[in-house]
């Protein structure tokens, strides 16, 4: 069964433009309700969280209408991180969890992500079935079986306690000055609360959402403000989350940035030393740097690669029984603690390493030398298929030939934006630039 609405991370697009319109959200809510309420009883429930986008109000209301119309009872969490929805779906014995967020995208985008009763994101097959129901229509509940909706006021606090429980009981953050950038997003209250309760001295950035400033000049996709704050305040470390707090970037005391690959390298090495890294394996996406693979191999550990998207990383982790994975973009998945990427809990793991070893952030955040990597994006119009043209295929084949033995090439269509991503790795900088530009020029000509 094919999917056209769902991408690599739910349904996503510009708010009030198809498919991210209220009507489609209502249909998706009704479809999800019918999919999960198969026995027709009124004991089924769904939890809904959202980030701080203005359009979240509209989608929250539309989803609630669709879900209750098929007899589902709705529990509204308000603004909470995406991993909180995964956790509370299971904690509150819900049949489905929904997060309204476009993650790291600007405010004018939004998205709808679905979690199953086990707290993990739905697989492609389940999404395809929900999409088919949404497009074809569903049978509504009888009037006496319409669902109810209620606000859950303490969902944020439940997640705060969950996050704190991941931090070693014998450690404190007393004496550490931490810059925390919440991207004016879903963790604008939870992240500072957790860090303050653990003893950190905080400098807070991106904690004043107005519905339009999420991810704007802040967060994990724009760390410049936080990096400057670390240096200006003499902070020990900076933590940059994205709009729904499932990603993180770490900034050391000199303002240098560590991405998801470097964070995973530190965690994998520490967990392996502690006997906690299951199967001696880390799962990462095809975008992760070759330097990470070499670092792990040097320690007798293995890197398992998955398609781009934290959902696919998690699926590979579950298939292999592994407990640590993530993406270069800052998704860090620790199934000992969470069912999806959790930027705050990953940051706590890094802070625990600082507190335990006494090492500065700079000594912990650069575990390996990265292989030069170049990524360029080409935007295309909806419906265009530039990767299927003969000229683009020829350019890709030529680039792969030129990189043989000197690096690797990865071409992919973004699952969240209308972009073709062209990425290559090579220690030959001139070759790297030439092969990427040759493919980009061919794609640009095709679109």
Q: State the Cα–Cα distance between residues 369 and 202, nearest whole angstrom.
A: 30
* Cβ atoms of residues 175 and 70 within 8 Å: no
Annotation says 103 is catalytic: yes
Q: What are phi and psi of 115, to 5 degrees?
A: -120, 140
430 CB burial (10 A radius; 0-12, 13-18, 19+): exposed
Residue 237 gets the label, from left (phi > 0), alpha (psi -120 to 50) or beta, of beta
Residue of 103, 166, 288, 367 marked active site: 103
The length of the chain in residues reads: 447
- The tokens for 290 are 């070759």
Element (H, E) at 305: strand 302-306
Which residue has tokens 């944020």? 156
Q: 390-426 b/e with 16+ CB inside 10 Å = b?
A: eebeebbeebbebbeeebebebbbebbebebbbbbbb
* Cβ atoms of residues 262 and 288 within 8 Å: no
Give the active site residues.
Answer: 103
């Amino acid at each position: 069964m094919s999917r056209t609405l769902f991408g690599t991370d739910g349904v996503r697009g510009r708010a009030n433009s198809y498919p991210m319109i209220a009507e489609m959200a209502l249909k998706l809510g009704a479809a999800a309700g019918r999919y999960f309420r198969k026995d027709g009883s009124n004991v089924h429930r769904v939890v809904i969280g959202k980030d701080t986008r203005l359009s979240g109000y509209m989608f929250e209301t539309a989803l609630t209408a669709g879900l209750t119309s098929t007899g589902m009872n709705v529990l509204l969490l308000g603004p909470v991180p995406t991993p909180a929805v995964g956790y509370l779906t299971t904690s509150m014995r819900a049949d489905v969890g929904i997060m309204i967020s476009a993650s790291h995208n600007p405010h004018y985008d939004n998205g709808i992500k679905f979690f199953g009763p086990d707290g993990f994101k739905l697989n492609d097959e389940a999404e395809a079935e929900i999409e088919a129901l949404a497009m074809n229509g569903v049978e509504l509940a009888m009037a006496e079986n319409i669902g109810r909706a209620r606000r859950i006021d303490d969902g944020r606090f439940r997640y705060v306690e969950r996050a704190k429980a991941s931090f070693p009981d014998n450690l404190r953050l007393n004496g550490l000055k931490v810059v925390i950038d919440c991207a004016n997003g879903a963790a604008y209250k939870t992240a500072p609360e957790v860090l303050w309760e653990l003893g950190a001295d905080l400098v807070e950035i991106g904690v004043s959402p107005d519905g339009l400033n999420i991810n704007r000049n802040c967060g994990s996709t724009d760390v410049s403000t936080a990096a400057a704050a670390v240096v200006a305040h003499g902070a020990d470390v900076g933590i940059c989350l994205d709009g729904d707090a499932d990603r993180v970037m770490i900034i050391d005391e000199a303002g240098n940035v560590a991405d998801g690959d470097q964070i995973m390298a530190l965690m994998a090495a520490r967990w392996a030393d502690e006997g906690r890294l299951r199967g001696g394996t880390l799962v990462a996406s095809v975008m992760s740097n070759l330097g990470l693979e070499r670092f792990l191999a040097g320690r007798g550990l293995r890197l398992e690669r998955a398609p781009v998207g934290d959902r696919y990383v998690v699926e590979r982790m579950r298939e292999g029984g592994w407990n640590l994975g993530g993406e270069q973009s800052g998704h860090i998945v620790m199934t000992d603690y969470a069912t999806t990427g959790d930027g705050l809990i990953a940051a706590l793991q890094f802070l625990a390493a600082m507190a335990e070893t006494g090492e500065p952030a700079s000594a912990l955040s650069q575990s390996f030398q990265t292989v030069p990597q170049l990524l360029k994006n080409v935007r295309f119009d909806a419906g265009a298929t530039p990767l299927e043209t003969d000229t683009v295929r020829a350019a890709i084949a030529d680039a792969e030939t030129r990189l043989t033995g000197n690096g690797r090439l990865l071409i992919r269509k973004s699952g969240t934006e209308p972009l073709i991503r062209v990425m290559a790795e090579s220690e030959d900088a001139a070759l790297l630039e030439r092969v990427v530009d040759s493919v980009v020029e061919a794609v640009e000509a095709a679109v």
